Structure 1
Amino acid sequence: MNRMLKATAVATLCCTAAAGLGYIGVAQAKGDGGLGVRDAASAAWTTRTVHAADRADAFVGEKKINVGGHAVNVSCEGRQSRRGPVVVLVAGLGDGLDKMADLQKTLSKKNRVCSYDRLGEGKSDKPEGPQSMADTGRVLTGVINRVAGDSPVVLAGHSLGGLIAARYAPDHRDKVKGLVLLDATSSTTSADVTRAIPESATGDAGDLRAQTVAVMQGQNPENLVVPDGRVRSAGWIPTQVIRHGQPYLSEFPTYGPQLEADWTKGQYAWAAVSGRATVHKAEGSGHYIYVDRKDIAVKSIQRVAAQVTQRNGGWWGHAGR
């Protein structure tokens, strides 16, 4: 089959740009919120409390900050307005912050925008062992505390970054006041793929199934275990869910139509994250919406940021809805 099509399917379903990782076995780490399998010394950083600063670090450019004893690479641009949010970009698995640099530069004309490399990505430290979603959430908390202080935050995540943002927001309603999910990895990716492609499948389909299982169980640059889970509500925060417009997954032999249908269903499922969520299709876009249709990504993020600014100036900006 077309090599580019296979790579694109892997990149989408496995939520990673590193399609060449291949299937190298199933990770041994398990769990949804624990620390995973690691020794006491390497686990200690996750128990350290990171206190929110009264004032954000207003640096511009790229620098490494300390989060629980780990160096995390962060980049920020733009000026912070008095009532406006800080936009935090969350890249997909296999991508560093440089992948979203052009988007960040454009958005910085109207908002303060920051991005970061998760542990195992870009210039940040490597994780010592398997990471859970709780682990990667603690890193995000450290970044937000440093770059936003007591300002509201809009999380804009692509692919796995969208899944991380959507799972993070319900537990951090005090900080996260808006969401933009750009073709976010489905909350039921493992179940969808293993249901659509039978265990008996061989060839490219069998490889795709095996790679997806491996990546979601921790065989990825971040050693991050990504279990399936239900979509939880973050309240009534402004939320834009943007799905790809080119149904390229349908072109995958035999199983493509079901894969595309499940992916689309997963995008609509993310709307349950907020009572103010809307779902849109980025016409002419593949998985990398912010590259293929940068205009749509920019307008969506700016729209949510403007709504957060408006809410932050009124009584319901502090109502915790």
Structure 2
Amino acid sequence: MRSLLPAVLALALAALAPAPAAADPSAGPGLLARLPDGRRLNFRCAGAGAPTVLLEGGYGADSLGWGRIKAAFAKSYRVCSYDRAGAGYSDPGPLPRDGAAIARDLDRGLAAARIPGPYIVVGHSAGGLYVRLFSNRRPQDVVGMVLVDPSVEHQDRRFAALFGEGAAGLGPLQARAAQCLAAAETGALPSVEPPLDRCVPPARPGQSPAAVAARRAEALRPSTWRARISELDTLWSATSDALDLGRQSYGDLPLVVLTADGTYAAAPQAAREPLASLWWGLHRELARRSTRGVSRQVEGSSHMMMTDRPDAIVAAVREVAAQANMIKAR
């Protein structure tokens, strides 16, 4: 049973320059914000109104993974997603790409893009760690938080205590990224040979040729894989340590933690229930960091809740926004 756990657990973790208009938004950048060191961070925003909803994806994600969520909010709030350094249309950043560096980039990028608070932050998977670090930098501006099947700091230790060393290891993801990096550095991508055929994403139905070319170009850049590897390498070390050093209580901050009921559906039968129980318990602990914290299981969802159950995320954000407005009106 233990030999299968690392792979299963790894899967559970993925100055302003207006861009030229494009028929397919994914074929070009959105709003390129220039950071103090000259790098550009790509934001995609829609709608208007306060608070601003900030969307942070998990490992390997970019600004395009929140389409159904953004569409639901565009009439009520300003909603923004972005590409982390080295992803999508954002410039690479200096290594390491740990949570502190990611939160710092987001902080400075919002200032450069003139996207003011207050914010409701939404973080999926590893993005849950990053938005929590961002909220520690801007506690007065973050008025609510929704964590979507989030990773938690040092979760490798908690899994190891129950399932043995390496149970929450990221080895499969790290090995794949290292293979893709080596191939990108030698010009061996794209490739039809496994496992390198998975390094370059296939075209999606309805995707424009320009968008397909952009996604391919991203996968061919060594800097893309260096950033992903650095995020993985620091997840249970520097990123988790930074959270340990930050605030341990969120006071009365409106907070909803959503747990997908199918995150470990592919685990071996004997491990499935213990894994789901541990995952649910970690999320309940996280919710208790706020006196307004709520932990909620979402039925019919894999780890990719924004695809399977976007309605649950939308409802949680609206709930948090209503609480934030009530607190503001006092």
Q: 1:213 to 1:7 in 2, by over 3 A?
A: closer
Question: Take 1:296 and 1:149, find their aligned partners in 2: how far apart are those partners?
Answer: 26
Per-residue deviation at 1:234?
Answer: 2.5
Per-residue deviation at 1:194?
Answer: 3.0
Q: Find the counterpart in structure 2 of residue 162 from structure 1.
A: 128
CA RMSD of aligned residues (A): 3.2
Question: Take 2:320 and 2:73, find their aligned partners in 1: how far apart are those partners?
Answer: 12
The letter for the 2-side match of 1:193 is F
Select the residue among 16, 29, 32 that pairs with 1:64: 32
Question: Take 2:87 and 2:8, find their aligned partners in 1: how far apart are those partners?
Answer: 20
Question: Take 1:232 and 1:277, find their aligned partners in 2: how far apart are those partners?
Answer: 13
Select the residue among 252, 257, 260 that pairs with 1:236: 252
The letter for the 2-side match of 1:289 is M
What's the secondary structure of 1:180's corresponding residue?
strand
Q: Find the counterpart in structure 2 of residue 152 from structure 1.
A: 118
Give the alignment's TM-score, normalised by structure 1: 0.70
Verify: 1:294 aligned to 2:310, yes or no.
yes
Q: Find the counterpart in structure 2 of residue 11 from structure 1.
A: 11
Verify: 1:275 aligned to 2:282, yes or no.
no
Give the alignment's TM-score, normalised by structure 2: 0.68
Q: 1:219 to 1:255 in 2, by over 3 A?
A: farther
Q: Deviations over 1:226-253 (max 9, x none)?
A: 2335472222111111111226357336
Q: 1:308 to 1:146 in 2, by over 3 A?
A: farther
Question: Take 1:278 and 1:268, find their aligned partners in 2: how far apart are those partners?
Answer: 8
Verify: 1:74 aligned to 2:43, yes or no.
yes
Q: Find the counterpart in structure 1 of residue 274 from structure 2.
A: 258
Per-residue deviation at 1:255?
Answer: 4.2
Q: Which moved more, 1:184-193 or 1:67-76?
A: 184-193
Q: Find the counterpart in structure 2 of residue 182 from structure 1.
A: 148
Structure with the larger helix share:
2
The letter for the 1-side match of 2:66 is M
Q: 1:272 to 1:144 in 2, by over 3 A?
A: farther
Per-residue deviation at 1:78?
Answer: 0.2
Q: Which runs of 5+ in 1 are unaligned?
A: 17-49, 51-56, 316-321
Q: 1:118 to 1:178 in 2, by over 3 A?
A: same
Q: Is the 8 A contact 2:58 2:127 kept in 1?
A: yes
Per-residue deviation at 1:212?
Answer: 7.2
Verify: 1:95 aligned to 2:61, yes or no.
yes
What's the secondary structure of 2:297's corresponding residue?
strand
Select the residue among 122, 126, 129 that pairs with 2:95: 129
Q: 1:219 to 1:71 in 2, by over 3 A?
A: closer
Question: Take 1:254 and 1:219, find their aligned partners in 2: how far apart are those partners?
Answer: 36
Question: Take 2:285 and 2:173, find their aligned partners in 1: how far apart are those partners?
Answer: 21
Q: Find the counterpart in structure 1 of residue 171 from structure 2.
A: 211
Per-residue deviation at 1:66?
Answer: 1.2
Question: Take 1:67 and 1:117, find their aligned partners in 2: how far apart are those partners?
Answer: 13
Q: Is the 8 A contact 1:251 1:257 kept in 2?
A: no
Q: Find the counterpart in structure 1 of residue 85 from structure 2.
A: 119
